Amino acid sequence: MIRPPYFARIAAGAAAYVLEETRKIPGTAVTLPMTAFSKTLQTGMHFQQFITSLAIRGDQVFGRFLDSDEPQPAWASFDEDQLESDDADVTQRSSNPGRFALYSMPPNADEISSPPAAAPLQQPEHTNGSTDEPEIAQYLAYGTLTLVQLRARLRSLSVDELTTLLDYEDKTLSRAPFQTMLANRIASAKAK
């Protein structure tokens, strides 16, 4: 087979390309504004990144000459790194455990937040064992429950058990969200 000259093949290829591109014009015309807009945004973002990289490089150059005499900043210190002398400050803090105490367990289940020793007026009047932990509270380990854990267990309790827990909460910790949840559950259980 005899091949046409190189320039003739280029001309035939160019004609075929023009014909194919002419057939694509209606579809390209519809997407042309979006394509042009996205290309413009892409070019603008690349330009911003290039300018930012130049600024960072300039900071590095100036940093070698100007900031060499500044001392290094101190390392961050965490609670675990503090000396044990700071433990005395913990007892002087407010007796209010804060908003996150509802969602976390105390470090020791036996140590439930109690008022500071300097406030003898807040001690309960009944010291004949009325604040002893009821059987249902012991069974549920109520002192260690978070608000979410208590909510999960409420449906399985009877009205008497809920009332006992509410009385126990009133006498000991007096946490408003716990009291509200127990009271609401008692009301809904009685309504059934």
- Residue by residue, pLDDT tens for the chain (192 residues) are 788 899 999 999 999 999 999 999 988 888 888 999 999 999 999 999 999 999 999 988 888 877 656 666 677 777 766 655 455 455 555 556 666 565 555 555 444 544 444 444 444 444 444 457 888 888 888 888 888 888 888 888 899 999 999 999 999 888 888 999 999 999 988 887
Q: What does the alpha-carbon distance between residue 24 and residue 130 come to, in Å, rounded to a whole number?
A: 88
Enter the tokens of residue 143: 């002192």
Q: How distant, in Å, are the alpha carbons of 25, 32, 35, 51, 52 from that of 40?
A: 21, 12, 8, 17, 18
pTM of model > 0.75 = no
Alpha carbons within 13 angstroms on the beta-carbon side of residue 117 total 1
Enter the tokens of residue 52: 């930012």
Q: What does the alpha-carbon distance between residue 77 and residue 83 come to, in Å, rounded to a whole number?
A: 11
Torsion of CA 53, 59, 65, 70, to 10 degrees: -140
**Residue 181 in contact with residue 154, Cβ under 8 Å?**
yes
Between helix 176-191 and helix 159-171 the angle, nearest 10°, is 160
